[in-house]
């Protein structure tokens, strides 16, 4: 969808102008992965309108494959407006105009498996499930076990404004249990299921091979069963109940001078997936997630240029003491910037 970013802080009623950009969890992840040097494709539907043109052209400019994008001649491209600041802040406003949008018409019949099974990883978001009954049917089909299914990565991405019927806790837990990799914020897990504690959350979601619980500026905790080559990816064992104990890794987040909180969760997912696609270990995956999130946190919009791979690898390989002193501010991903430490 197209997002409109406020020209200044304040209530939507008081903001006189907005800057147009693209938004959407899946497209954010696709753009970040493409910028990190991976082949990434976005599957979706947009309207046959100017906003749809803008979305497709912007994704293409970011290096994302859009050959599976379909244009709907009868439904518009979705848009949303938001105020400045963090979603968790009191007074933050988000207004969605997505009912009846082209994306809301996605279904198992309009998104065939030949579009979704082309890659090593299929990344999904809980936002899609909230758009319509057809979208929920599509998400259930994509997370169901089936031959040839790629590794399914699922970011819970709970957006209360999209769930008016109270079904979010049950639906999002159902979808998470069908995924191979699940990413969730401790705050949204507490809101959804009353389970902000990572260990309790893992006990409630034993099926995914990897569960990552993000605790904001504090840290991220990953629970992963012993890794062995999977049938399609080599990244993770298949999802499902497994009696083996988890490996548990906690990586603190670096100190970041935040410009805007938007896009950080999607960037973390992209960093974690990027490191996994490269065969890096669990600690490195979490660190790369933190670094990609820090890139997003230090720019105004949803999308940020990630650090060059060599630089990110060097930072991710720091010893624990040096990692614990990282201090990242605006511009830190630029070639002429030095990473500050106390």
By 3-state DSSP, what share of the chain in percent is helix, strand and coil, each rounded to 5?
35, 20, 45
Q: DSSP class of residue 233?
A: S
Asked if 240 and 225 count as a contact pair (C-beta separation under 8 A), the reply is no
Cα 67 to Cα 64: distance, rounded to the nearest angstrom: 9
Pairs from 263-266 (Cβ < 8 Å, separation ≥ 24): 263/28, 263/296, 263/301, 263/302, 263/303, 263/304, 264/293, 264/296, 264/297, 265/25, 265/155, 265/157, 265/183, 265/185, 265/214, 265/293, 266/25, 266/28, 266/29, 266/32, 266/155, 266/296, 266/302
- Closest by alpha carbon to 154, among 189, 187, 178? 178
Catalytic (active site) residue 117? no
Q: DSSP of 252-293, one letter per residue?
A: EPPEE--S--TTHHHHHHHHHHHHHHTT--HHHHHHHHHHHH
Cα 286 to Cα 304: distance, rounded to the nearest angstrom: 18
Single out the catalytic residue among 266, 302, 319, 336.
266
Cα 71 to Cα 57: distance, rounded to the nearest angstrom: 13
Q: Residue holding tokens 């629970």?
A: 223
For the annotated catalytic residues, the residue numbers are 266
């Amino acid at each position: 969808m197209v997002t409109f970013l406020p020209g200044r802080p304040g209530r939507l009623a008081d903001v006189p102008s907005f800057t147009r950009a693209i938004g959407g969890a899946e497209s954010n992840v696709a753009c970040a992965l493409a910028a990190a040097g991976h082949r990434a494709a976005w599957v979706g539907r947009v309207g046959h309108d100017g906003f749809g043109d803008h979305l497709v052209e912007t994704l293409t400019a970011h290096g994302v494959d859009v050959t599976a994008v379909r244009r709907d001649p009868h439904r518009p491209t979705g848009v949303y407006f938001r105020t400045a600041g963090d979603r968790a802040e009191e007074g933050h406003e988000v207004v969605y105009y997505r009912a009846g949008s082209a994306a809301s018409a996605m279904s198992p019949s309009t998104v065939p498996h030949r579009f979704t099974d082309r890659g090593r990883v299929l990344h999904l978001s809980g936002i899609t499930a909230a758009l319509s009954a057809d979208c929920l049917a599509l998400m259930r089909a994509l997370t169901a076990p089936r031959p040839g299914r790629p590794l399914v990565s699922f970011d819970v991405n709970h957006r209360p404004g999209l769930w008016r019927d109270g079904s979010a806790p049950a639906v999002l837990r159902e979808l998470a249990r069908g995924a191979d990799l699940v990413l969730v914020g401790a705050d949204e897990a507490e809101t959804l299921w009353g389970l902000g504690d990572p260990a309790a959350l893992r006990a409630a979601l034993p099926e995914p091979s990897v569960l990552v619980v993000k605790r904001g500026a504090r840290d991220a905790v990953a629970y992963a069963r012993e890794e062995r080559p999977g049938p399609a990816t080599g990244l993770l064992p298949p999802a499902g109940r497994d009696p083996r104990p988890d490996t548990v890794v906690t990586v603190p987040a670096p100190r970041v001078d935040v410009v805007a909180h938007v896009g950080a969760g999607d960037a973390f997912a992209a960093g974690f997936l990027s490191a996994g696609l490269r065969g890096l270990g669990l600690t490195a995956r979490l660190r790369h997630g933190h670094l990609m999130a820090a890139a997003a946190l230090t720019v105004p919009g949803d999308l940020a240029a990630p650090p060059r791979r060599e630089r990110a690898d060097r930072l991710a390989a720091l010893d624990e003491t040096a990692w614990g002193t990282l201090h990242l501010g605006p511009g830190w991903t630029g070639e002429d910037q030095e990473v500050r430490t106390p």
